[in-house]
């Protein structure tokens, strides 16, 4: 038996992209069905990102998802950069005249949005199987899945959002010729990440280049540390007992007068690193968002932030398309997102290659990395470039009550590109009740 249903937007994937999209659409009065292959508990526990751009924080607040984030998030002025045994603080708030970053784990964002969606009575299906998307070139594409009880569903939609990550089914469902570009670069290393019952030894996130390889000291709460080590791409986690992890973290991170606090390792895993961009991010009525369309290596902390930027733009575009019958923003969606995606792809690739040690790296390469790091820590212009890119790009805005003309939206984007610090004022002047807007 197949249960036939109807919704406005079928969303594949309950990661941050799919969940936040469904929430933003609901605020605009647009219905969606979200299907997810994993269990709710798995989605809420999957350890990944932690660093949020100030623009992401502002969007979550504006969407009513900021309560716990404001109580428990750790707001930081900047980061530390360490190399050749020297540690330097990069004060992004000062360099950007006010932008900051916040540590708040992706697991917590996922919990917050799931709770909000369920409280709202949303159609959120976990543990589905055999997800399929079809009729993408028609006005009524379909989403098919088998629910946790084994019942097959066919949902007729106005649009489908592929928010199913890099390994999902949506991108491969695009008909031959639909993707013009799929650019990929792999790196000969990965990150071994641990979550540890160890109070962070640093007050802000610390990125370190060491001759043994990259290390990163982040945190989740004042009691829980999150730390990463560069390891070979094909490394077996079995080669890394906890004692070896801590010893290597100490070797790479410690400087005279500063010791790393250790503690029980709660979780550990290895993540491969790649850059990937699929374009366009749309095929007919299928729209890709987040990791399903692009992957960055985690060094610049961009992946989750890009996913949020995509769905802010997509919620706007789909609302205009479905509620108002206006396709203009939907048609502009891919180009609009890809501009930000390529900027973040550059930042992530640049930070990765500057801070990681290539297997067989020669002294010439090592000196080039050190020269770039010295430039960043001695030139205000270079530091400002890092600060602007790291803390986020133009603001994301969302107001489901307002019907905007595309000219007002893109006019505001153009203004923001000229003068980020005055964007809010100009936005209010141009569109009195703010905007659905992703810059
Ligand atoms: P995902 O989180 O991958 O969600 C996709 C969902 O789709 C999953 O739940 C999956 O189970 C589901 N799915 C897949 N196939 C199907 C199917 N066939 N049917 C139904 N559902 C399906 N980003 C940052 O911005 N800041 C950071 O500090 C940062 N740190 C990171 C550290 C690490 C170690 C890693 C690995 C990543 C980090 N990232 C960071 C990146 C960030 O975690 C990802 O970019 C983010 O998860 C993307 O969200 P998404 O919703 O697009 O995809
Ligand atoms: C974290 C992850 C990152 O990729 C990064 O660049 C900074 C922090 C984190 O997990 O906290």
- What is the pLDDT, as a whole number, of residue 11? 98
Q: How far is the CA of 381 from the centre of ligand 1 (A)?
A: 33
Mean pLDDT score, 229-241: 97
- What is the pLDDT, as a whole number, of residue 418? 33
Lowest mean pLDDT among 130-134, 141-145, 408-412: 408-412
- pLDDT interval class at 168 (50, 70, 90): very high
Q: How far is the CA of 33 from the centre of ligand 1 (A)?
A: 19
Computed over every residue of the chain, the mean pLDDT equals: 90
CA distance 128 to 122: 16
Mean pLDDT score, 249-272: 97
**Ligand 2 atom having least distance to the Cα of 79:** 7
**Does ligand 2 have an atom closer than 6 angstroms to the CB of 107?**
no
Q: Is the pLDDT of residue 406 over 60?
A: no
Among 16, 47, 50, 204, name the best residue to mutate to test ligand 2's pocket (greatest count of ligand atoms within 8 A of Cβ).
50
What digits encode the pLDDT tens for the residues 44-56?
Answer: 999 998 999 999 9
Task: Give 297 or 429, the one with higher predicted confidence.
Answer: 297
Mean pLDDT score, 47-76: 95
CA distance 361 to 301: 24
CA distance 25 to 158: 13
Q: Which residues of 385-409 are buried (b: 16+ CB within 10 A; e: fewer)?
A: ebbbbbbbbbbbbbbbebebeeeeb
- What is the pLDDT, as a whole number, of residue 399? 55
- What is the pLDDT, as a whole number, of residue 287? 98
- pLDDT interval class at 108 (50, 70, 90): very high
- What is the pLDDT, as a whole number, of residue 129? 98
* 298 belongs to the catalytic site: yes
Q: Is the pLDDT of residue 110 over 90?
A: yes
Mean pLDDT score, 21-39: 97
CB 131, CB 35: distance < 8 Å: yes
Q: Is the pLDDT of residue 339 over 80?
A: yes
CA 87 centroid distance within chain: 27
Q: Is the pLDDT of residue 411 over 60?
A: no
* 200 belongs to the catalytic site: no
For atom 8 of ligand 2, which residue has the closest CA? 51
CA distance 156 to 8: 8
For atom 1 of ligand 2, which residue has the closest CA? 50
Mean pLDDT score, 386-415: 61
Percent of the chain with pLDDT over 70: 90
Q: Which domains does the chain have, with CATH numbers?
A: 2-50+105-180+280-351 (3.50.50.60), 187-273+359-389 (3.30.9.10), 394-439 (no CATH)
- What is the pLDDT, as a whole number, of residue 396? 73
Mean pLDDT score, 17-39: 97
Q: Is the pLDDT of residue 346 over 90?
A: yes
Q: How big is the chain by its Cα radius of gyration, in Å?
A: 22
Which ligand minimizes its atom distance to the CA of 307?
1
């Amino acid at each position: 038996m197949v249960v036939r249903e109807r919704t406005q937007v079928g969303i594949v994937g309950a990661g941050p992209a799919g969940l936040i999209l469904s929430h933003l659409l609901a605020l605009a009065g647009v219905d969606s069905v979200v299907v997810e292959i994993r269990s709710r508990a798995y989605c809420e526990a999957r350890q990944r990102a932690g660093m949020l751009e100030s623009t992401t924080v502002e969007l979550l607040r504006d969407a009513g998802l900021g309560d716990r984030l404001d109580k428990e998030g750790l707001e930081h002025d900047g980061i530390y950069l360490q190399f050749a045994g020297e540690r330097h603080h990069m004060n992004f708030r000062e360099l950007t005249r006010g932008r900051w970053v916040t540590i708040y784990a992706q697991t917590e964002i996922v919990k917050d949005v799931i709770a909000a969606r369920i409280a709202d009575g949303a159609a959120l299906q976990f543990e589905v199987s055999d997800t399929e998307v079809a009729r993408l070139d028609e006005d009524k594409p379909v989403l098919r899945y088998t629910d946790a009880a084994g019942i097959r569903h066919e949902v007729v939609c106005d649009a489908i959002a592929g928010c199913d990550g890099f390994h999902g089914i949506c991108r491969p469902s695009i008909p031959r010729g639909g993707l013009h570009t799929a650019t990929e670069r792999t790196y000969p290393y990965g990150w071994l990440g641990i979550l540890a019952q160890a109070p962070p030894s640093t007050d802000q996130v610390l990125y370190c280049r060491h001759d043994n390889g990259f290390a990163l000291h982040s945190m989740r709460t004042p009691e829980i540390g999150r730390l990463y080590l560069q390891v070979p791409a094909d490394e077996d986690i079995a080669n890394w007992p906890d004692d070896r992890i801590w010893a290597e973290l100490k070797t790479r991170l410690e400087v005279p007068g500063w010791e790393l606090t250790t503690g029980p390792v709660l979780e550990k895993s290895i993540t491969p690193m790649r850059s990937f961009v699929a374009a366009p991010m749309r095929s007919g009525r299928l729209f890709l968002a987040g990791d399903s369309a692009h992957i960055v290596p985690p060094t610049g902390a961009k992946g989750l932030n890009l996913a949020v930027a995509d769905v802010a733009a997509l919620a706007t575009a789909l609302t205009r398309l479905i509620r108002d019958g206006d396709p203009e923003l939907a048609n502009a969606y891919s180009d609009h997102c890809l501009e930000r995606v390529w900027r973040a792809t550059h930042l992530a690739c640049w930070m990765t290659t500057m801070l990681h040690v290539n297997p067989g790296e020669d002294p010439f390469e090592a000196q080039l990395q050190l020269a770039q790091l010295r430039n960043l820590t001695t030139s205000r212009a270079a530091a400002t470039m890092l600060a602007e890119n790291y803390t986020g790009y133009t603001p994301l805005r969302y107001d489901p009550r307002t019907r905007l003309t595309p000219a007002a939206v893109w006019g505001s984007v153009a203004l923001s590109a000229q003068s980020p610090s005055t964007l809010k004022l100009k936005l209010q002047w141009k569109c009195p009740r703010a905007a659905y807007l992703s810059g």
